[in-house]
Amino acid sequence: MNGIVEVHGLTKRLGRRTVLQDLDLSLPAGSITVLLGSNGAGKSTLARLLLGAERPDRGTIRIAGLDPLRDGKELRGRIGFVPDHPDVYDWMTSSDLYEFLRPQYPRWSPAIEARLVARWSVPEHTRFGELSRGEAAKAMLVAALAPQPDFYLFDEAFEGLDPLVRDDVLAGVLEEIELDGRAALVVTHALDLAVRIADRVAVLADGRVAACADVEDLGGVRDLKELVGSVSR
């Protein structure tokens, strides 16, 4: 399979603990994959490895044919990443952040930026340190979507949103994600969110992708819960 993201035999140890063990994962173009798993399953570690923020102990990672460590500079411009907590400077406003990021991403779309800021009512002149977690999450999502990357990586990006706002945000994300020749990986604990946006779900357990299924083949959240429960036991 030739996916946008190809991971083979990935092993990562943190201290004495093996977090990922011979993990294989392929994210085909045009798909949104949700990565599920219990706490400590290695979801965020995998996200960091995909970003090039960690060095694997073994195995290969290719994103759009590029190695995150060797081709980091080029690849970082082709990944739209939202961390679980905003990692930008507290004194920055979303307007400051977009101004800071804009020259670094050649495909940055001011139209997408303006559209999403307006749609989600992102406060443009309030410092991140003073934003609520949901507001900050929306601001970070704009920063990940406006560059029109080849690979979207959302690490528990929707956790701080209240349910009503989250639906609107998810709708906006689904509308703006351009999946033609691209892929998205959403790391989350929220099964309903997975069912809502994913084409495929992958469940991490024991350092591997223990289960992988198309959402269409699953009946709903209950089936997904059973799937996660079965591999996590």
**Closest distance of CB 129 from other proteins, Å:** 11
Candidates 24, 99, 130, 226: give the one binding other proteins (CB under 8 A).
99
Give, as ranges, the residues between 178 and 207 that touch other proteins (CB under 8 A): none
Residue with smaller CB distance to other proteins, 129 or 219: 129
Residue with smaller CB distance to other proteins, 155 or 176: 155
Residue with smaller CB distance to other proteins, 80 or 198: 80
Name residue 110's amino acid. Answer: P
**Closest distance of CB 28 from other proteins, Å:** 24
Give, as ranges, the residues between 15 and 34 that touch other proteins (CB under 8 A): 15
Could you tell me which of 165, 161, 215 has the C-alpha nearest to residue 191? 215
**Closest distance of CB 104 from other proteins, Å:** 4
Chain-centroid distance, C-alpha 76: 14
CA atoms within 13 A on the CB side of 214: 4
Give, as ranges, the residues between 42 and 71 that touch other proteins (CB under 8 A): 48, 51-55, 69
Which listed range, 101-109, 115-123, 155-163, 184-192, lies at the site for other proteins (CB under 8 A)?
101-109
**Closest distance of CB 91 from other proteins, Å:** 6
Which listed range, 80-88, 165-173, 184-192, 206-214, lies at the site for other proteins (CB under 8 A)?
80-88
Candidates 1, 2, 16, 73: give the one binding other proteins (CB under 8 A).
73
User: Does residue number 76 form part of the binding site for other proteins (CB under 8 A)?
Assistant: yes
User: Does residue number 163 form part of the binding site for other proteins (CB under 8 A)?
Assistant: no
DSSP string, the chain: ---SEEEEEEEEEETTEEEEEEEEEEE-TTEEEEEEE-TTSSHHHHHHHHHTSS--SEEEEEETTB-TTTTHHHHHTTEEEE-SS--S-TT-BHHHHHHHHGGG-TT--HHHHHHHHHHTT--SSSBGGGS-HHHHHHHHHHHHHTT--SEEEEESTTTTS-HHHHHHHHHHHHHH---TT-EEEEE-S-HHHHHHH-SEEEEEETTEEEEEEEGGGS-SHHHHHHHHHHHH-
Judged by CB under 8 A, the number of residues near other proteins is 30
Handedness of CA 161, 201, 50, 205 (dihedral sign): positive
Candidates 21, 67, 71, 105: give the one binding other proteins (CB under 8 A).
105
> Residue numbers of the site for other proteins (CB under 8 A)?
14-15, 48, 51-55, 69, 72-74, 76-77, 79, 81, 83, 85, 87-89, 91-92, 96, 99-101, 103-105
